Structure 1
Amino acid sequence: MSATTDTSSEMPGGRFAARHRFQTRYIYIGLLIAFLAFITLFPLGMLVYGSFHTGSPSSPESVVSLDGYRAVFSAGNLEILWNTLYIAGVKSVFSLLIAAFLAWIVARTDTPMRGLLEVLITLPFFIPPILTAMAWSLLGNAQTGPINMLWRSLTGSSEPLIDVYSTGGVIWHMMQYAIPFMFLFLVESFRRMDPSLEEASRMCGASRMRTLRGITLRLMIPVMATVFTLSFIRGMESFESPLFFGTPAGVRVVATEIYNAINQDFTPNYQFATAIAIVVMGLMLLLLLAQRAIIGGRNYQTVSGKGYRPGVMALGRWRWATFAFCLLFFFLSVVLPVGQLFIGSFYKYIGFYDTKFLTLEHYRNVFENRAMWDSVLNTMILGLGGATLTMLLGSMVAYISIRTRWHGRRLIDFMAWLPWLMPGIVLGVGFLWAFAYLPGPITIYGTLWALLLAYIAICMPLGVNAMSTAFVQLSVDLEECSRVHGASFLQTMSRILIALAWPSFAIGWLLCFFVVMRELSASVLLYSVGNEVMSVEMLKLWENGRAEEVCVLSMFMILLVVAFRGIQIFVTARRTKLTQ
């Protein structure tokens, strides 16, 4: 086969075909690099530019100044940075402990119904944070919250049991999403660990707890460091929790300061918003370097070439305690908030739960409100389009990074992963500046294209990761056979690689759709009147005191979550069955 290929390349037609393929390849690479640079490097560069210039984007009166950085490093704003680091750190530590315990229960014990528990534990990750934030602001209100009202009626105490409008409330709500996020990574790592390592420890006289501390958890350091870093970054960018629970209590963090500097101040302070965004990205970069220093140079290999089954620990009567602990997490993170939204949608006034106040008026208002239906349509368009484009581009990036030695592949891979360092609200600020400096007739800001580009940038690392793991498992022979029979690069990608990796593509697509549906921090900066998405529309309704209609709209969003989550579980189960 190789001889035939070499001979054909020496013929005039063969040389022309080879030169044509070479030129086409670099056209594809050039276009991909240009697009990735536009959605990552361009907004990042405009962030840096904006941090050194006064005035608003494209303002003719803008001058070079360091006032933004002086403001960031003032005493008051340094406290804001510390609050952000403290909340993200505390949330990540406690979430890691609970997530690791839940993952250990599901993967390494004989707890009943572990398959069902895994689904229930991960469900909070797919529910948009704005929904549970609104629910807990009603549930945990110190004066009128149902939890505190029940507490007072049972104990006669005048003090509330909980108050979500506090630093603790911010951390508690953020943990509800951090725990399932970490669990998704940790549970598979527990399953892949060779039990012979733990068995050797037990044979040498170590107790189960010492084996857990000295062997199991030490071997989990790389994945734990990774998920801690990712969770910390997500904590730094968290917007909904500080907005709902921190702002009323005077707890200020970076995300809400950026939002207030642009949307709430009488004169938008773009320079301060961009300067503090640059500082936050610098802190995240230092965190990544620290993570590499922790795990670098050590050997943590736990998966060998030998066949094995993950060790399952018999808990005896304690298995029902671990089962109850998993259900308790599901109850607190899903049942309580969703139940509050469901009940609230049927009462005329939230907090007055008397049968005489039952009504369907809020449902009628929602179904008759054109703006709400426009937001649903916009969300579906952006979700379907954004998820599809992200996975197609992610497949291209993953292919170039994993299956080729092309020049420029490292740059492509770097740009695709860069958004991990750019929180949603930071990316939104960068796009604000970037769109303002687009030349001539190119108008993106104020259209759905602005939101679509931001969503693609936010979801790109997820799409690349999903397809990279799939392409690694495919034999190169399949691709070479397709090319030998005359298929082009795009034909090979679509008919061979993506077709064989379709389950991973579908799962990645669904995850991207969930990200688009729940995204608020970038959306709240880039939307315009008439182009609202569901998360923005619910925030506007909440701020206007229409909490009951928010409950109705949230029920519609939760139905979407359940439907698409069911599809994802089906696709995942089918993929597992096909690969067995």
Structure 2
Amino acid sequence: MSPTSTLEGTTRSPAESGRPDPGPPLPPYRPGLITRLRRTSGFDLFSLTLAGILVALVCLPLVRVVVNMFYKDGRFTLEAIQRTLAIEDLGKMVLDTVVVVLASSVLAVVIGFLLAWANTRTDARFGLINEIFPYLPFLLPPIAGAVGWTMLLSPQAGLLNAWLRDILGLVGIPLESGPFDINSWYGLILVYTFYAVPYVYMNVSAAMQGLDASLEEASRLSGASAVKTLRRITLPALAPSIGAGFLLCTWFGFGMFSIAQIIGTPAGIDMIPVRIVKLLTFTYPPDEDLAIGLSAIVVVFVGLSYLVQYRILKNSRFGSIGGKATHHTVTALGVWRPVVRAGVLLYIGVSTVLPMFALFIVSLNGYWTPNIQWGSLSLDAFRVALFDDPKTQEAFGNSLTLGLVGGVIGILVAAVVSLYIAQHRSRATLGLDAAIKLPSAISNMVIAVGILLLLARPPFDLGGTWLILLLGYLALYLPQASIAADAAVATIGKELGEASGVAGARQWKTFLRVYLPLMIPGLVGGFALLFVRIIGDLTASAILSGTNNVVVGFRILEVFNGGSYATLAALSSVLVIVSALILVVVLWLSKRTGVARSH
């Protein structure tokens, strides 16, 4: 028997003290699930319900893809895999896709790193450009960018090619076509790279801003060269952010349809996303087995990218930099400062301004030709595209409505769920958060295929409806909404919510009167990204859109296939204008609400 201590300091057994032996201590009381649910407030139950809906919206399509891969008509089968492996040009298609995605991802890492270094660690940075740089690609949705580059660098009629031929002819170098061809390997990789760079830039620039430069300074003082310091100190510390950027680039590349279709297909470069869309949209009846099999290949390659990221994170602990306070020195470039600034401006001009210019010039000229009639530019193409074509009007109406509704629903739901997860940190809530962000780990193409398989058939029968597009967009772009909401929640401490509760306010009132107003600056930016991605989407639209729910992205693809280039440029230009206006207004509102909140 265990001894028992008394007030006199002596020790007696339970029997000697006249008390029964209490035995081993009882385990701590843990209420059951029903009891915990009864104790949960109405707002928390509402948050959990929303989280469950989001997880179902994200995970069930993926489950459906996996089930259809191995089960058909109630029996186990490998038919989808066998038919996929029997595709005659499967090897070439996989190789083409991998080469384009990996080459563009590596180039994006190099360019994104250099731009982040120039804009955060040197005196060549631009204050305004630093703020708008991550948003520049959203001003020019991928389908509009692909059209703009086609009009610039088509071998015969490309505007830039024609002007370059004129210049070369003046110095005695006559050319019949070219000198560049956008429908080529380097053209396709170039455009992919332009749209992948921001994923690297946003990750690396954020890491550089929080990186303590003390070890870098110590390395330089000890006699190490700048190159050795970069290799031994800076790159190991930035490895996780660089790996995350590379991973996002591959995710983007394997899910991109519009660039591959408009630039790669004429060049004979066969990409997996293009083949999936053809099998589901332009084949009758749709060949779902082959589409599912190709989707499985995409999942494998995205998984390999995650493995690379995991190895980087695992090894990066030896190169991490820590400390309570962080600071970084700004490198004075001296005579190289204007050169670096010119390089940054040149990149912005080439990647964004040039294709925008091509779209607007072709639209105003009325037809696609390098011989621009500068004195007779007009808005006729815009009038024909927007006011004389009922189908285009319907497409813009659907896209704008879906963008507004999807943006508002997505960001508000993400805000509620992110706040709940932040206030109830546990393995379960972290699992919910990971499930909601799952589409960022899977190609958009696979998610869209799963939405089609799940909702277009009985018992839902949503195929060709407005609702299937809304649900598809929400499933695809929930990670962005969730990340924006997480950032907005992170800026708010617990004290204000606790004070509201102490004052007697219920959770609903606390959310509406305290949390939501403080989160608005971050949520507004998240809404802008959702809106622009939805109205410019072609990946989900190409699979889920039909004659009864046509949207702008799919309408642009139809016009491109029909060869009406002025109308095509006008539609793309309007898409650029709408995206730019929304982003400008949102950034202005975000700054204004941020300033108001600070006062």
Q: TM-score, normalised by structure 2?
A: 0.86
Partner AA of 2:533 in structure 1: V
| Count of residue pairs brought into register by the alignment | 556
The answer to whether 1:401 aligns with 2:421 is yes
> What is the aligned partner in structure 2 of residue 222 from structure 1?
240
Helix, strand or coil at the partner of 1:475: coil
Partner AA of 1:233 in structure 2: W
Tell me the distance in 1 between the aligned counterparts of 2:47 and 2:137.
38
> What is the aligned partner in structure 2 of residue 10 from structure 1?
none
Tell me the distance in 1 between the aligned counterparts of 2:276 and 2:523.
35
Correspondence for 1:528 among 546, 565, 576: 546
The alpha-carbon distance between structure 1 residues 267 and 110, as it changes in their structure 2 partners (threshold 3 A), is same
The answer to whether 1:42 aligns with 2:54 is no
The answer to whether 1:470 aligns with 2:481 is no
The alpha-carbon distance between structure 1 residues 382 and 411, as it changes in their structure 2 partners (threshold 3 A), is same
The answer to whether 1:70 aligns with 2:82 is yes
Tell me the distance in 1 between the aligned counterparts of 2:109 and 2:598.
31
Task: State the shift of 1:319 in Å.
Answer: 0.6
Whether the aligned pair in 2 keeps the contact of 1:397 and 1:412 (CA below 8 Å) is no
Whether the aligned pair in 2 keeps the contact of 1:348 and 1:357 (CA below 8 Å) is no
Tell me the distance in 2 between the aligned counterparts of 1:159 and 1:166.
14
Correspondence for 2:389 among 369, 372, 395: 369
1:394-437 CA deviation, whole Å, 9 max, x = no partner?
Answer: 12331232220467423421320111133222212111110134
Tell me the distance in 2 between the aligned counterparts of 1:307 and 1:280.
40
Helix, strand or coil at the partner of 1:252: coil
> What is the aligned partner in structure 1 of residue 99 from structure 2?
86
> What is the aligned partner in structure 2 of residue 32 from structure 1?
50
The alpha-carbon distance between structure 1 residues 307 and 78, as it changes in their structure 2 partners (threshold 3 A), is closer
Partner AA of 1:116 in structure 2: I
Tell me the distance in 2 between the aligned counterparts of 1:30 and 1:503.
25
Helix, strand or coil at the partner of 1:317: helix
Name which of structure 1's ranges 44-53 and 506-515 shifts more when overlaid on structure 2.
44-53
The answer to whether 1:388 aligns with 2:408 is yes
Tell me the distance in 1 between the aligned counterparts of 2:486 and 2:133.
27
Tell me the distance in 2 between the aligned counterparts of 1:301 and 1:63.
51
Structure 1 unaligned residues grouped into runs of 5+: 1-16, 55-60
> What is the aligned partner in structure 2 of residue 105 from structure 1?
118
Q: Once the two structures are aligned, what percentage of the paired residues are identical?
A: 27
1:106-130 CA deviation, whole Å, 9 max, x = no partner?
Answer: 1111116343365357412432111
Whether the aligned pair in 1 keeps the contact of 2:138 and 2:579 (CA below 8 Å) is no
Correspondence for 1:436 among 442, 446, 456: 456
Name which of structure 1's ranges 557-566 and 239-248 shifts more when overlaid on structure 2.
557-566
Tell me the distance in 2 between the aligned counterparts of 1:145 and 1:18.
66
* Higher alpha-carbon Rg: 2
Q: CA-atom RMSD, angstroms?
A: 2.6
Partner AA of 1:83 in structure 2: D
The alpha-carbon distance between structure 1 residues 507 and 361, as it changes in their structure 2 partners (threshold 3 A), is closer
**1:73-472 aligned within 5 A:** 73-74=85-86, 76-111=89-124, 113-116=126-129, 119=132, 122-153=135-166, 154=168, 155-158=173-176, 160-296=178-314, 298-302=317-321, 304-306=323-325, 308=327, 310-351=328-369, 353-355=371-373, 358-366=377-385, 367-405=387-425, 408-439=428-459, 442-472=460-490
Q: TM-score, normalised by structure 1?
A: 0.89
Name which of structure 1's ranges 505-514 and 224-233 shifts more when overlaid on structure 2.
505-514
1:47-94 CA deviation, whole Å, 9 max, x = no partner?
Answer: 12322356xxxxxx7875422212333462133222222211110101
Correspondence for 1:543 among 561, 571, 586: 561
1:249-307 CA deviation, whole Å, 9 max, x = no partner?
Answer: 22111101101111223442111101221231233123213311221251554463326
Tell me the distance in 2 between the aligned counterparts of 1:330 and 1:84.
26
Whether the aligned pair in 1 keeps the contact of 2:152 and 2:160 (CA below 8 Å) is yes
Partner AA of 2:567 in structure 1: E
Whether the aligned pair in 2 keeps the contact of 1:147 and 1:161 (CA below 8 Å) is no
Whether the aligned pair in 1 keeps the contact of 2:94 and 2:271 (CA below 8 Å) is yes
Whether the aligned pair in 1 keeps the contact of 2:359 and 2:569 (CA below 8 Å) is yes
Task: State the shift of 1:179 in Å.
Answer: 1.3
Task: State the shift of 1:165 in Å.
Answer: 0.9
> What is the aligned partner in structure 2 of residue 9 from structure 1?
none
**1:552-571 aligned within 5 A:** 552-571=570-589
Tell me the distance in 2 between the aligned counterparts of 1:358 and 1:458.
39
